[in-house]
Amino acid sequence: MKNLIKSFLIVVILLVNSCGEGITEPEAGRRDYVWEVDEINPGYESLYLGRIWGSSPNDVWAVGSSSWSATSIWHYDGIKWETDSIPRAVDPTAIWGLSKNEVWLGNYDYNNNIWRYNGSKWSLFGSYILDGYDILCINYFDGTSSNNIYGVGFVELYGKSKWKAIIMHYNGTNWRFVDIPESKASFESVAIVPGSDILVVGGTIYDPKGFIAKVYCWDGKELKEIFSSLGGWTFVVRLGNEIFISHSSQIYKYSDKRLTLWMDNRGKGINGNIICGRSRNDFFIGGDEGIYHYNGKEFYNIYNTELVVRRGYIFEKDVFFIGLDYVNGKNYIIHGKLK
Protein backbone atom coordinates (compact mmCIF):
# COMPACT_ATOMS: atom_id res chain seq x y z
CA MET A 1 0.00 0.00 0.00
CA LYS A 2 2.81 2.41 0.91
CA ASN A 3 4.54 1.70 -2.39
CA LEU A 4 1.29 2.33 -4.25
CA ILE A 5 0.77 5.69 -2.52
CA LYS A 6 4.42 6.61 -3.11
CA SER A 7 4.10 5.79 -6.81
CA PHE A 8 0.90 7.82 -7.03
CA LEU A 9 2.56 10.87 -5.45
CA ILE A 10 5.52 10.63 -7.82
CA VAL A 11 3.14 10.57 -10.81
CA VAL A 12 1.25 13.60 -9.47
CA ILE A 13 4.50 15.54 -8.94
CA LEU A 14 5.68 14.69 -12.45
CA LEU A 15 2.34 15.81 -13.93
CA VAL A 16 2.41 19.10 -12.04
CA ASN A 17 5.98 19.78 -13.13
CA SER A 18 5.15 18.83 -16.69
CA CYS A 19 2.11 21.15 -16.78
CA GLY A 20 4.23 23.96 -15.38
CA GLU A 21 6.80 23.77 -18.13
CA GLY A 22 6.75 26.85 -20.34
CA ILE A 23 4.95 28.95 -17.73
CA THR A 24 7.44 31.52 -16.55
CA GLU A 25 7.07 34.52 -14.30
CA PRO A 26 7.88 37.78 -16.13
CA GLU A 27 11.23 39.26 -15.17
CA ALA A 28 11.27 42.12 -12.69
CA GLY A 29 11.58 45.41 -14.55
CA ARG A 30 14.82 47.36 -14.30
CA ARG A 31 14.87 50.91 -12.95
CA ASP A 32 18.27 52.22 -14.02
CA TYR A 33 16.93 54.76 -16.51
CA VAL A 34 18.69 57.88 -17.69
CA TRP A 35 16.12 60.63 -18.29
CA GLU A 36 15.96 63.54 -20.71
CA VAL A 37 13.12 65.95 -21.43
CA ASP A 38 12.24 67.69 -24.69
CA GLU A 39 9.81 70.59 -24.92
CA ILE A 40 7.49 70.43 -27.91
CA ASN A 41 7.26 74.02 -29.09
CA PRO A 42 4.40 74.87 -31.50
CA GLY A 43 5.35 78.55 -31.56
CA TYR A 44 2.41 80.86 -30.96
CA GLU A 45 -0.14 78.08 -31.38
CA SER A 46 -1.82 76.19 -28.56
CA LEU A 47 -1.19 72.44 -28.42
CA TYR A 48 -2.29 69.61 -26.14
CA LEU A 49 -0.61 66.33 -26.99
CA GLY A 50 -2.69 63.29 -26.11
CA ARG A 51 -1.43 60.17 -27.92
CA ILE A 52 1.96 58.62 -28.68
CA TRP A 53 3.16 55.59 -30.66
CA GLY A 54 6.36 54.46 -32.34
CA SER A 55 7.88 51.65 -34.38
CA SER A 56 11.30 52.14 -32.72
CA PRO A 57 13.08 54.62 -30.41
CA ASN A 58 14.14 56.45 -33.58
CA ASP A 59 10.62 56.63 -35.03
CA VAL A 60 8.08 58.00 -32.57
CA TRP A 61 4.89 59.97 -33.23
CA ALA A 62 3.04 62.27 -30.79
CA VAL A 63 -0.24 63.94 -31.74
CA GLY A 64 -2.85 66.19 -30.18
CA SER A 65 -5.30 68.99 -30.56
CA SER A 66 -3.86 72.28 -31.80
CA SER A 67 -5.16 75.73 -32.67
CA TRP A 68 -3.59 75.21 -36.10
CA SER A 69 -3.70 71.77 -37.70
CA ALA A 70 -0.15 72.12 -39.05
CA THR A 71 1.21 71.67 -35.51
CA SER A 72 -0.95 68.69 -34.48
CA ILE A 73 1.46 65.95 -35.62
CA TRP A 74 5.02 65.63 -34.26
CA HIS A 75 7.76 63.13 -35.09
CA TYR A 76 10.98 62.06 -33.36
CA ASP A 77 13.82 60.65 -35.48
CA GLY A 78 16.12 59.74 -32.62
CA ILE A 79 17.65 63.22 -32.49
CA LYS A 80 14.91 65.82 -32.38
CA TRP A 81 11.16 66.38 -32.39
CA GLU A 82 9.67 68.35 -35.27
CA THR A 83 6.49 68.92 -37.25
CA ASP A 84 6.29 69.21 -41.02
CA SER A 85 4.07 72.35 -40.73
CA ILE A 86 1.67 71.06 -43.41
CA PRO A 87 -1.94 72.15 -42.69
CA ARG A 88 -4.39 69.23 -42.63
CA ALA A 89 -8.02 68.91 -41.62
CA VAL A 90 -7.13 66.90 -38.52
CA ASP A 91 -7.82 67.06 -34.79
CA PRO A 92 -5.92 63.92 -33.71
CA THR A 93 -7.37 61.68 -31.01
CA ALA A 94 -5.59 58.37 -31.78
CA ILE A 95 -2.39 57.12 -33.36
CA TRP A 96 -1.18 53.55 -33.81
CA GLY A 97 0.73 51.51 -36.33
CA LEU A 98 2.23 48.21 -37.38
CA SER A 99 5.50 49.58 -38.77
CA LYS A 100 7.16 52.82 -39.80
CA ASN A 101 5.39 52.40 -43.16
CA GLU A 102 1.89 51.88 -41.78
CA VAL A 103 0.64 54.33 -39.18
CA TRP A 104 -3.03 55.20 -38.62
CA LEU A 105 -4.44 58.49 -37.33
CA GLY A 106 -7.89 58.91 -35.79
CA ASN A 107 -9.65 62.25 -35.33
CA TYR A 108 -12.51 64.12 -33.80
CA ASP A 109 -13.64 65.15 -37.24
CA TYR A 110 -16.59 66.83 -38.93
CA ASN A 111 -15.27 65.32 -42.15
CA ASN A 112 -15.36 61.80 -40.66
CA ASN A 113 -11.83 61.10 -41.88
CA ILE A 114 -9.19 58.49 -41.10
CA TRP A 115 -5.59 59.19 -42.17
CA ARG A 116 -2.64 56.89 -42.88
CA TYR A 117 1.13 57.38 -43.09
CA ASN A 118 2.98 55.24 -45.65
CA GLY A 119 6.55 55.89 -44.58
CA SER A 120 6.94 59.15 -46.47
CA LYS A 121 3.73 61.18 -46.15
CA TRP A 122 0.34 61.43 -44.46
CA SER A 123 -2.67 60.95 -46.74
CA LEU A 124 -6.42 60.95 -46.27
CA PHE A 125 -7.41 57.27 -46.37
CA GLY A 126 -11.18 57.60 -46.34
CA SER A 127 -14.32 59.28 -44.97
CA TYR A 128 -16.80 57.22 -42.97
CA ILE A 129 -20.28 58.54 -42.22
CA LEU A 130 -22.87 56.70 -40.14
CA ASP A 131 -26.48 57.54 -40.98
CA GLY A 132 -27.96 60.03 -38.53
CA TYR A 133 -24.62 61.37 -37.33
CA ASP A 134 -22.21 63.98 -38.64
CA ILE A 135 -19.06 63.61 -36.47
CA LEU A 136 -16.74 60.64 -36.16
CA CYS A 137 -14.23 60.30 -33.32
CA ILE A 138 -11.70 57.45 -33.14
CA ASN A 139 -10.08 57.37 -29.69
CA TYR A 140 -7.91 54.26 -29.89
CA PHE A 141 -6.60 51.57 -32.23
CA ASP A 142 -5.33 48.02 -31.78
CA GLY A 143 -4.56 45.29 -34.27
CA THR A 144 -2.73 42.07 -35.01
CA SER A 145 -1.91 42.47 -38.72
CA SER A 146 -2.43 44.73 -41.74
CA ASN A 147 -5.82 43.12 -42.35
CA ASN A 148 -7.07 43.01 -38.77
CA ILE A 149 -7.17 46.42 -37.06
CA TYR A 150 -9.85 47.84 -34.77
CA GLY A 151 -10.69 51.42 -33.88
CA VAL A 152 -13.06 52.49 -31.10
CA GLY A 153 -14.72 55.81 -30.29
CA PHE A 154 -18.10 57.39 -30.90
CA VAL A 155 -20.25 59.17 -33.46
CA GLU A 156 -22.20 62.32 -32.68
CA LEU A 157 -24.92 64.50 -34.15
CA TYR A 158 -23.60 67.95 -33.37
CA GLY A 159 -25.78 70.14 -31.16
CA LYS A 160 -28.47 67.50 -30.67
CA SER A 161 -27.17 65.60 -27.61
CA LYS A 162 -27.16 62.49 -29.74
CA TRP A 163 -24.18 60.13 -29.79
CA LYS A 164 -23.31 56.46 -29.48
CA ALA A 165 -20.28 54.23 -29.10
CA ILE A 166 -18.72 52.66 -32.18
CA ILE A 167 -16.27 49.94 -33.14
CA MET A 168 -14.66 49.99 -36.58
CA HIS A 169 -12.70 47.21 -38.30
CA TYR A 170 -10.09 47.34 -41.07
CA ASN A 171 -9.81 44.20 -43.20
CA GLY A 172 -6.79 45.20 -45.24
CA THR A 173 -8.85 47.07 -47.82
CA ASN A 174 -11.30 49.34 -46.07
CA TRP A 175 -12.77 50.36 -42.74
CA ARG A 176 -16.35 49.47 -41.79
CA PHE A 177 -18.58 50.05 -38.79
CA VAL A 178 -19.12 46.91 -36.70
CA ASP A 179 -22.74 46.18 -35.85
CA ILE A 180 -22.94 46.46 -32.06
CA PRO A 181 -25.82 47.20 -29.65
CA GLU A 182 -26.49 50.91 -29.26
CA SER A 183 -24.91 52.52 -26.21
CA LYS A 184 -24.78 56.21 -25.37
CA ALA A 185 -21.11 56.00 -24.53
CA SER A 186 -17.66 56.95 -25.68
CA PHE A 187 -15.28 54.03 -26.18
CA GLU A 188 -11.79 55.23 -25.22
CA SER A 189 -9.41 52.25 -25.19
CA VAL A 190 -9.28 48.77 -26.65
CA ALA A 191 -7.04 45.68 -26.56
CA ILE A 192 -7.35 42.47 -28.55
CA VAL A 193 -7.12 39.38 -26.35
CA PRO A 194 -3.98 37.51 -27.52
CA GLY A 195 -4.76 34.48 -29.63
CA SER A 196 -8.39 35.46 -30.23
CA ASP A 197 -10.70 37.95 -31.92
CA ILE A 198 -12.15 39.12 -28.60
CA LEU A 199 -11.94 42.83 -27.78
CA VAL A 200 -11.77 44.33 -24.31
CA VAL A 201 -13.06 47.91 -24.51
CA GLY A 202 -12.98 50.69 -21.93
CA GLY A 203 -15.36 53.62 -22.11
CA THR A 204 -17.50 56.17 -20.38
CA ILE A 205 -21.27 56.66 -20.11
CA TYR A 206 -22.40 60.25 -19.66
CA ASP A 207 -25.20 60.03 -17.10
CA PRO A 208 -27.07 62.80 -15.21
CA LYS A 209 -25.56 61.32 -12.03
CA GLY A 210 -22.06 61.81 -13.42
CA PHE A 211 -19.52 59.92 -15.51
CA ILE A 212 -19.86 56.14 -15.31
CA ALA A 213 -16.75 54.14 -16.16
CA LYS A 214 -17.43 50.99 -18.17
CA VAL A 215 -15.55 47.98 -19.51
CA TYR A 216 -17.01 45.71 -22.18
CA CYS A 217 -16.09 42.48 -23.89
CA TRP A 218 -16.95 42.04 -27.59
CA ASP A 219 -16.67 38.57 -29.13
CA GLY A 220 -18.17 39.39 -32.50
CA LYS A 221 -21.70 38.56 -31.37
CA GLU A 222 -22.26 39.85 -27.84
CA LEU A 223 -21.23 43.15 -26.25
CA LYS A 224 -20.99 42.11 -22.61
CA GLU A 225 -20.57 44.65 -19.83
CA ILE A 226 -18.00 43.35 -17.34
CA PHE A 227 -17.35 46.46 -15.22
CA SER A 228 -19.24 49.59 -14.17
CA SER A 229 -18.39 52.28 -11.63
CA LEU A 230 -19.73 55.77 -11.00
CA GLY A 231 -16.86 58.22 -11.26
CA GLY A 232 -13.32 57.88 -12.51
CA TRP A 233 -12.00 56.57 -15.81
CA THR A 234 -10.92 53.20 -17.09
CA PHE A 235 -7.98 52.35 -19.30
CA VAL A 236 -7.42 49.00 -21.00
CA VAL A 237 -3.81 47.97 -21.56
CA ARG A 238 -2.01 44.84 -22.71
CA LEU A 239 1.08 43.94 -20.66
CA GLY A 240 2.88 41.14 -22.44
CA ASN A 241 0.17 38.58 -23.21
CA GLU A 242 -2.14 39.70 -20.42
CA ILE A 243 -4.78 42.41 -20.32
CA PHE A 244 -5.33 44.72 -17.36
CA ILE A 245 -7.80 47.48 -16.61
CA SER A 246 -6.95 50.36 -14.31
CA HIS A 247 -9.63 52.42 -12.60
CA SER A 248 -8.91 55.02 -9.92
CA SER A 249 -6.53 53.27 -7.50
CA GLN A 250 -7.44 49.72 -8.48
CA ILE A 251 -6.13 47.37 -11.16
CA TYR A 252 -8.18 44.49 -12.56
CA LYS A 253 -7.01 41.50 -14.58
CA TYR A 254 -9.02 40.23 -17.53
CA SER A 255 -9.64 36.52 -18.07
CA ASP A 256 -12.40 34.64 -19.91
CA LYS A 257 -14.77 37.62 -20.23
CA ARG A 258 -14.41 38.52 -16.56
CA LEU A 259 -12.45 40.97 -14.44
CA THR A 260 -10.92 40.14 -11.08
CA LEU A 261 -9.33 42.63 -8.73
CA TRP A 262 -5.57 42.18 -9.10
CA MET A 263 -4.22 45.06 -7.03
CA ASP A 264 -5.80 47.61 -4.69
CA ASN A 265 -3.67 50.74 -4.28
CA ARG A 266 -6.10 52.89 -2.35
CA GLY A 267 -4.29 55.12 0.14
CA LYS A 268 -0.90 54.55 -1.51
CA GLY A 269 -0.84 57.59 -3.81
CA ILE A 270 -1.05 55.30 -6.87
CA ASN A 271 -4.19 56.68 -8.44
CA GLY A 272 -3.61 57.05 -12.16
CA ASN A 273 -4.12 54.74 -15.08
CA ILE A 274 -1.47 52.29 -16.21
CA ILE A 275 0.51 54.28 -18.78
CA CYS A 276 2.43 51.49 -20.50
CA GLY A 277 4.57 48.46 -19.70
CA ARG A 278 6.32 45.31 -20.84
CA SER A 279 4.66 42.87 -18.42
CA ARG A 280 2.80 42.72 -15.12
CA ASN A 281 6.20 42.94 -13.41
CA ASP A 282 7.42 45.90 -15.44
CA PHE A 283 4.94 48.73 -15.97
CA PHE A 284 4.45 52.44 -15.33
CA ILE A 285 1.47 54.10 -13.70
CA GLY A 286 0.45 57.59 -12.62
CA GLY A 287 0.56 58.73 -9.00
CA ASP A 288 0.45 61.73 -6.69
CA GLU A 289 4.06 62.74 -7.31
CA GLY A 290 4.74 61.71 -10.89
CA ILE A 291 5.42 58.43 -12.67
CA TYR A 292 5.62 55.22 -10.64
CA HIS A 293 7.15 51.91 -11.67
CA TYR A 294 6.09 48.43 -10.56
CA ASN A 295 8.71 45.66 -10.68
CA GLY A 296 6.61 42.76 -9.45
CA LYS A 297 7.22 43.53 -5.78
CA GLU A 298 6.75 47.23 -5.10
CA PHE A 299 5.98 50.63 -6.57
CA TYR A 300 8.71 53.23 -6.83
CA ASN A 301 8.48 56.89 -7.85
CA ILE A 302 10.80 56.60 -10.81
CA TYR A 303 10.27 60.11 -12.15
CA ASN A 304 9.07 62.93 -9.92
CA THR A 305 7.12 65.58 -11.80
CA GLU A 306 4.17 67.96 -11.47
CA LEU A 307 3.34 67.46 -15.14
CA VAL A 308 0.18 65.56 -16.03
CA VAL A 309 1.30 62.21 -17.49
CA ARG A 310 -1.41 59.99 -18.98
CA ARG A 311 0.10 58.41 -22.09
CA GLY A 312 3.36 56.68 -22.96
CA TYR A 313 4.95 54.11 -25.23
CA ILE A 314 7.59 51.54 -24.39
CA PHE A 315 10.33 49.68 -26.26
CA GLU A 316 12.95 47.14 -25.21
CA LYS A 317 15.22 49.73 -23.57
CA ASP A 318 13.38 53.04 -24.06
CA VAL A 319 10.19 54.59 -22.78
CA PHE A 320 8.51 57.84 -23.86
CA PHE A 321 5.88 59.77 -21.89
CA ILE A 322 3.76 62.80 -22.76
CA GLY A 323 3.89 65.37 -19.96
CA LEU A 324 1.47 68.31 -19.98
CA ASP A 325 1.65 71.61 -18.14
CA TYR A 326 -1.97 72.71 -18.46
CA VAL A 327 -1.44 75.92 -16.48
CA ASN A 328 1.16 77.30 -18.88
CA GLY A 329 -0.04 75.42 -21.96
CA LYS A 330 3.24 73.56 -22.51
CA ASN A 331 3.99 70.05 -23.80
CA TYR A 332 6.96 67.85 -22.96
CA ILE A 333 8.25 64.42 -23.94
CA ILE A 334 9.93 62.56 -21.08
CA HIS A 335 12.36 59.98 -22.50
CA GLY A 336 13.93 57.27 -20.39
CA LYS A 337 16.79 55.01 -21.54
CA LEU A 338 17.96 51.94 -19.67
CA LYS A 339 21.70 52.00 -19.00
pLDDT tens track for 188-243: 999 999 999 999 999 999 888 889 999 999 999 999 999 999 988 899 999 999 99
For residue 254, the domain's CATH number is: 2.130.10.10
CA 189 to CA 206: how far, in whole Å? Answer: 16
> Which pLDDT score is estimated for 24?
79
pLDDT (tens digit, 9 = 90+) per residue, 273-312?
A: 999 999 999 999 999 999 999 999 999 999 999 999 999 9
Q: Residue 147 domain-assigned? A: yes
pTM for this predicted structure: 0.91
Residues 6+ apart with CB under 8 A from 292: 270, 284, 285, 286, 299, 300, 301, 302
**For the chain, which residues score pLDDT lower than 70?**
1-23
> Which pLDDT score is estimated for 231?
85
CB 35 within 8 A of CB 303: yes
CA 288 to CA 271: how far, in whole Å? Answer: 7
Q: Residue 273 domain-assigned? A: yes
Q: Residue 203 domain-assigned? A: yes
> Which pLDDT score is estimated for 334?
98
Q: Residue 303 domain-assigned? A: no
Q: Residue 18 is inside which H or E element, if any?
A: helix 2-20
Residues 6+ apart with CB under 8 A from 131: none
Q: Residue 1 domain-assigned? A: no
Q: Residue 20 domain-assigned? A: no
Residue 90, domain extent: 48-284
Structurally, the chain folds into a number of domains equal to: 1
CA 189 to CA 165: how far, in whole Å? Answer: 12
> Which pLDDT score is estimated for 206?
85
> Which pLDDT score is estimated for 210?
85
> Which pLDDT score is estimated for 111?
83
Do you know the residue count of the chain? 339
